[in-house]
A and B are shown apart, each in its own frame.
Chain A
Amino acid sequence: MTSAGSRGSVTEVLADLRGVVPERQLLTDPSELDTYACDGLAAYRVRPALVVLADSADQVAATVTACARRGVPFVARGSGTGLSGGALPHAEGVLLVTSRLRTLHEVRPQDQRAVVDPGVINLQVSKAANPHGYYFAPDPSSQQICSIGGNVAENSGGAHCLKYGFTSNHVLSLDVVTPQGEQVTLGTEAPDAPGYDLVGAFVGSEGTLGVATRATVRLTRLPQEVRTVLAGFASTDQAGAATSAIIAAGIVPAAIEIMDALAIEAAEKAVSCGYPAGAGAVLVVELDGSALEVEHEYARVEQICREAGTFEFRMATDAAERAEIWKGRKSAFAAVGRISPDYIVQDGVVPRTALPEVLRRMGEISAERGVRVANVFHAGDGNLHPLVLFDASEEGATERAEEVSGMILDLCIEHGGSITGEHGVGADKARYMPRMFTDDDLDTMQLVRCAFDPEGLANPGKVYPTPRLCGERPRVVQGAHPLTADGVEVF
């Protein structure tokens, strides 16, 4: 096997794959390769040397095996909707696309499980489970196009993970191809498989531990009742105070979202969502569960919002009205394009109690630097999505926006939060990892990397700013046990 230091050639990989993967699934034409040059974070573009459109687990394994044999790096990609450049290709490597593996093998409501290929679209799992009274809980905003394989790689969340958790809480078992080309099943469809929780380690590893080729996921019972409310407030402070009061009342809503005035303005321009006119902030709260409990919680939420000063309080009573309320929120990122030619979507987390202070500081930074920042956030879990607005055609504007974006992450770290709540580290934030973690922390995480991928071929350059050289083993004590100087074997 070639060491990471001397990369082999993609030509050799291509030769290995001919006859194993049909020719039409091997892309080498530059113009075709260019369509895969970026994922959802288009600021980074790299043309891969080869794209493999695999349509079976065996083809994935053959591709990875060829890469391992030739010492060629590879990057796995699902639908390519990621926002951190996690699927950014490697210029001398293979881009392994799993979106053609899209068989939804089984939906078994009696076991609360579905078995799916990595290319299956997130929303399709819920659609297949709905007739049986179930759904797949993780719901990233991109759920109409993002794939389960990508969700597994990124440990995707969504607005409803406040109550229902992330992808990692909903994956029981994975078939994976390790970076050395082995096909391994991790976990069982029942919980608590014996041994280390490698499913837990794999989910969210951003494609650096291998490629998932099949997932057994948990299905969640559809709630008896769902109520979505929209409350208009004069300021984000008021909306934030209402959020804190809801949590303090012992209510765990399915989602609590806040948008500020600038984000509302953008959403109105883009999708005419009809949010309360003149609002400095809107709060969206979704309650679900048994009808009786939801009724009770709804009454408390209304009371809390009124006490916090809401000037308009609406409730969606059916699916259409609910979709209307969510329309503005779910379209917010794209909508910002209506009020600014360019923007950076940030993804940071702060403890919920630090939200008012962090929002105030963000406002100050924005004013000081003359860079507008629109705010959309999952208020329930302190996950901020500031949208830093700029015009790239203006001299120095891009740099100023990037600086503000970085300062926001520093604020998150300063308050004990995280540099990413759901978009991942990818290529974009690897350089921020040392601000959140010590060298020892990062080194320790990479012990897992070394166990799975000693050659460092799986998605190199992502997540960790400095790769750990694997195989530097401390000398293993092979001699007699120190307390058995007479040489009696105690092992």
Chain B
Amino acid sequence: MTGSVLDLIGAACQAREATAADAVDGVTTQVVASPASTEETSALLRACHEHGLAVVVRGHGTKLAWGTPPERVDVVLDTTRMDALVEHSRGDLIATAGAGMPLARLAAHLAEGGHQLVVDDLVAVDRPDGPGGSTLGGAVATNLSGPRRTWVGAMRDLVIGVRFVRPDGTVAKAGGKVVKNVAGYDLSKLLCGSYGSLAVITEVTVRLHPLPEADRWVGTSVEPDRLAAVLAEVVQSQEVPHAVEVRVRPGVRPAVVTLLSGTEAGATARAETLRDRLATLGCEARVHDVAPPWWGVLLHPGQRGGTPVPDGSRPVLLKATARLSGIPQLLEEVTAVQGTATGSAGSGVLYVTLPPGDEVHDHVQRLRSVSTRLGGSLVVLDAPPQTKPGLDSWGAVPGLELMRRVKQEFDPRRTLAPGRFVGGL
């Protein structure tokens, strides 16, 4: 059986038989194929399309379990051989790299020119054999973003061009390598956050920002009933906060930490000004030159910042959003169900983990209805295998019928990640 899938994809690219470790959220696959180029990706997809094989794209696999488990998988398309830095044009503040480029390695390349891609890798991990964490393609496919989205937006706001392969093997691009460009539809945005369900991204061009000279964090812990006032003060500050993060845990006072980046003197002075403003609200804050250990990473229950994920840990992980003024209320609800939340109070996006238990389903429903009422949404990113099937991962999706039609146009045979995305697309 396995031999036959390998036969069907033929000489398209390097491929091997899959192992149990290659399963996608519990769904086993036959083959792992690793194209080294856009052309090989095209040949591979043509073969899969022709033979009705289902394909799931994988970078480092750090977010592969996010979303609904796919209905079936025949081929895992591993992008990690497409990991070249194609261009870093320092004078233009743009860079192009293969989808398999690890964000951590890209960051190191860019830093040589004094630049950065302002995306916080929420799943960053150090591995002895090289950079772990997200790849560039994975960051685009999940529209990854962390604390500093308050400053420059999410991945969708930083991608200026994509090269990709359609499920039938057609190679196409959208956008380009200039930031300002309105020629044609902005397919980069359509592919951002599409979870590999429309096309296989092979190359990405991003907009860069200069690395700041200094970062300062202003941290404080507040009584829950003061949280709304503190957040309003910080979020509306004219000191240009680059991130406003909040963290609540059962039995611990909420923490609010604000990042101010800039020149050495400027960032320090702005941080001190903000600290003094908070003091007038009766809130004792301190200025730090390092981030707290939970900054910009999704921590598992029991995990401390900077330590590896506990073996086999797979909590109920939610992304819950709300209008800015609704964040305190959403946090209150998270606390009420004994959840932990960390996220951007500056942009209205929280990552929530819930303790396991019989009530998870009800808690998700409750938080979802609160998020929706507050102008946002709730997505179950991940959950333990025994819990996930009972949860509605995506909830009600505005515009779902149009999305169905988009999927139908791009992938009528449902070659890519069938069933993984909203509405079972």
A interface residue numbers (CB < 8 A to B) = 108-113, 133, 154-155, 157, 161, 165-166, 168-169, 178, 182, 184-198, 200-201, 203-205, 221-224, 244, 247-248, 250-252, 289-290, 292-293, 296, 349-353, 378, 381-383, 416-425, 429, 433, 436-438, 440-445, 447-452, 463-464, 470, 473-474, 476-477, 481-483, 490-491
Which chain A residues border B410 with CB–CB below 8 Å?
Answer: 447
| Shortest distance from the beta carbon of A146 to any chain B beta carbon, whole Å | 15
Contact A292 B173 (CB under 8 A): no
Query: From residue 390 to 425 of chain B, which have CB atoms closer than 8 A to chain A?
Result: 394-395, 397-403, 405-406, 408-410, 412-413, 418, 421-423
Cβ–Cβ < 8 Å partners of B266 in chain A? 290, 292-293, 296
When the two chains form their complex, are residues A436 and B183 in contact, meaning their CB atoms are under 8 A apart? yes
Question: A252 to B402, Cβ gap below 8 A?
Answer: no
Q: Which of B5, B8, B377 has the most CB of A within 10 A?
A: B377
Given contact pairs A188-B377, A223-B240, A292-B266, a sample of 16 additional A-B residue pairs in the complex whose CB atoms are under 8 Å apart: A161-B180, A165-B157, A169-B153, A185-B399, A190-B376, A192-B154, A198-B406, A201-B189, A223-B238, A250-B114, A351-B177, A351-B178, A417-B178, A445-B174, A448-B187, A477-B413
Chain A residues within an 8 Å CB radius of B263? 292-293, 296
Query: Does B53 sit at the interface, judged by CB under 8 A?
Result: yes
Instruction: Look across to chain A and name the residue whose beta carbon is closest to the beta carbon of B376.
Output: A190
B193 touches A197 (CB 8 A): yes
Cα distance A421–B149 in the bound complex, in angstroms: 24
With A188-B398, A474-B413 as contacts: A201 and B186 at CB distance below 8 Å? yes
**Cβ contacts under 8 Å, A155 to chain B:** 182, 186
A437-B189 CB under 8 A given contacts A250-B211, A420-B181, A476-B412: no
A192 to B74, CA, bound (A): 30
B173 contacts A441, CB within 8 Å?
Answer: yes
Structural contact, B192 and A200, CB atoms closer than 8 A: yes
Contact check, A420 vs B173: say whether CB atoms are below 8 A apart: no
Q: Nearest B residue to A351 by beta-carbon distance?
A: B92
Q: Do residues B92 and A483 form an inter-chain contact, with CB atoms below 8 A?
A: no
Q: Across the interface, do A198 and B399 meet the contact criterion of CB distance under 8 Å? A: yes
Contacts of A248 in B (CB 8 A): 90-91
Q: How far is the CB of B54 from chain A (nearest CB, A)?
A: 9
Give the A-B pair count, Cβ closer than 8 A: 300
A418 CB contact (under 8 Å) in B180, B189, B347: B180
A190, B154: Cα distance in complex, Å: 12
Establish whether residues B171 and A418, one from each chain, have CB atoms under 8 Å apart when the complex forms: no
Neighbouring B residues of A111 by C-beta, 8 Å: 323-326, 375
Per-residue A-contact encoding for B188-206, CB less than 8 Å = 1, 0 else: 1110111000100000000
Q: Are the CB atoms of A290 and B183 closer together than 8 Å?
A: no
Are B192 and A451 within 8 A (Cβ)? no
CA distance in complex: A248, B115 (Å): 10
B423: chain A residues at CB < 8 Å are 195
Are A445 and B153 interface neighbours, CB within 8 A?
no
B270 lies within 8 A of chain A by Cβ: yes
- B33 to A: closest C-beta gap in Å: 15
Distance between A426 CB and nearest chain B CB, rounded to angstroms: 10
**Pair A477/B52 contact, Cβ less than 8 Å:** yes
The answer to whether A192 and B172 touch across the interface, beta carbons within 8 angstroms, is no
Chain B nearest CB: distance from A307 CB in Å? 17
Contact with A along B79-107 (1 / 0, CB 8 A): 00000000001111110000000000000
Q: List 17 A-B contacts (CB under 8 A).
A: A111-B324, A111-B326, A185-B398, A187-B399, A190-B348, A190-B371, A191-B348, A200-B189, A205-B185, A223-B240, A247-B93, A293-B240, A418-B178, A422-B180, A443-B170, A481-B52, A483-B74
Question: Secondary structure of the A side of the interface?
Answer: loop
Task: Check A191 against B181 for contact (C-beta < 8 Å).
Answer: no
Residues of A within 8 A of B399 (CB): 184-187, 195-196, 198
Q: Are A352 and B91 in contact (CB under 8 A)?
A: yes
Q: Are B406 and A196 in contact (CB under 8 A)?
A: yes
Listed in ascending order, the chain B residues whose CB lies under 8 Å from chain A are 1, 4-5, 8, 30, 51-53, 71-72, 74, 89-94, 114, 143, 145, 149, 153-154, 156-157, 166, 168, 170-174, 176-190, 192-194, 198, 209-213, 232, 235-240, 262-263, 265-266, 269-270, 319, 321-326, 347-349, 371, 374-377, 379, 394-395, 397-403, 405-406, 408-410, 412-413, 418, 421-423
From known contacts A111-B323, A178-B402, infer whether A197 and B173 are also in contact, taking CB-CB under 8 Å.
no
Q: Name the CB-closest residue of A to B348.
A: A190
Interface centre among A133, A165, A443 (most CB of B within 10 A): A165
A474 to chain B, nearest CB (A): 6
Residues from chain A with a CB closer than 8 A to the CB of B403 are 195-196, 198
Is B182 a contact partner of A204 (Cβ separation < 8 A)?
A: yes
Tell me, in angstroms, the Cα distance from A429 to B182 when the chains sit together. Answer: 12
Q: Which residues of B contact A224 (CB under 8 A)?
A: 238-240
| Inter-chain contacts of A421 with B (CB < 8 A) | 178, 180-182
The 5 closest A-B pairs by CB, nearest first: A200-B189, A250-B210, A190-B376, A190-B321, A451-B405
Chain A neighbourhood of B371, CB < 8 A? 190
Chain B residues in 8 Å Cβ range of A420 = 181-183
Contact B187 A201 (CB under 8 A): yes
Residues of A within 8 A of B238 (CB): 133, 221-224, 290
Tell whether, in the assembled complex, residue A190 and residue B236 are in contact, meaning their CB atoms are under 8 Å apart: no
Q: Is the CB of A448 within 8 A of B184?
A: no
Q: Say how far A342's CB is from chain B's closest CB, in angstroms.
A: 25
Cβ contacts under 8 Å, B326 to chain A: 111
Q: Closest CB-CB distance, A346 to chain B, in whole Å?
A: 14
Task: Tell me, in angstroms, the Cα distance from A255 to B210 when the chains sit together.
Answer: 16
Shortest beta-carbon distance, A145 to chain B, in Å? 20
Query: Once bound together, how far apart are the Cα atoms of A383 and B319, in whole Å?
Result: 37
Contact present for A197 and B143 (CB under 8 Å): yes
In the assembly, what is the distance between CA of A166 and CA of B400, in Å?
Answer: 26
Q: Which residues of B contact A418 (CB under 8 A)?
A: 176, 178, 180-183
Closest Cβ–Cβ distance, residue A300 to chain B (whole Å) = 10
Q: Contact at A194–B377, with CB atoms within 8 Å?
A: yes
Chain B: minimal CB distance from A449 (Å): 8
Rounded to whole angstroms, the CA-CA distance of A69 and B51 in the bound complex is 39
The distance in angstroms between the C-alpha atoms of A433 and B52, with both chains bound, is 34
| Shortest beta-carbon distance from B141 to chain A in Å | 12
Q: Which A-chain residue is minimally distant from B228 (CB atoms)?
A: A110
Name the distance in Å between A447's Cβ and chain B's nearest Cβ.
4
Bound Cα distance from A423 to B182, whole angstroms: 8
Name the residue of chain B whose CB is nearest to the CB of A378. B180
Q: How far is the CB of A176 from chain B (nearest CB, A)?
A: 9
Q: Which residues of A contact B322 (CB under 8 A)?
A: 190
Smallest Cβ-Cβ distance to B408: which chain A residue = A451
* Nearest Cβ on chain B to A471's Cβ, whole angstroms: 10
Give Cα distance in the complex from A290 to B270, angstroms. Answer: 8
Q: Are A490 and B72 in contact (CB under 8 A)?
A: yes
Given contacts A188-B376, A222-B238, A477-B52, whether A483 and B189 have CB atoms under 8 Å apart is no
Give A353 to B94 CA distance when docked, in angstroms. 11
| Closest partner residue, chain A, to B415 (CB atom) | A477
Tell me how far the C-beta of B12 lies from the nearest C-beta in chain A, rounded to whole angstroms: 16
In the assembly, what is the distance between CA of A182 and CA of B394, in Å?
Answer: 23
- Distance between Cα atoms of A450 and B189 in the complex (Å): 18
Cα distance A290–B403 in the bound complex, in angstroms: 42
Known: A198-B402, A438-B172, A490-B72. A483 touches B178 (CB 8 A): no
B265 and A292: CB pair below 8 A? yes
Nearest CB in chain B to that of A480: its residue? B52
- Whether A112 lies near B324 (C-beta < 8 A) is yes
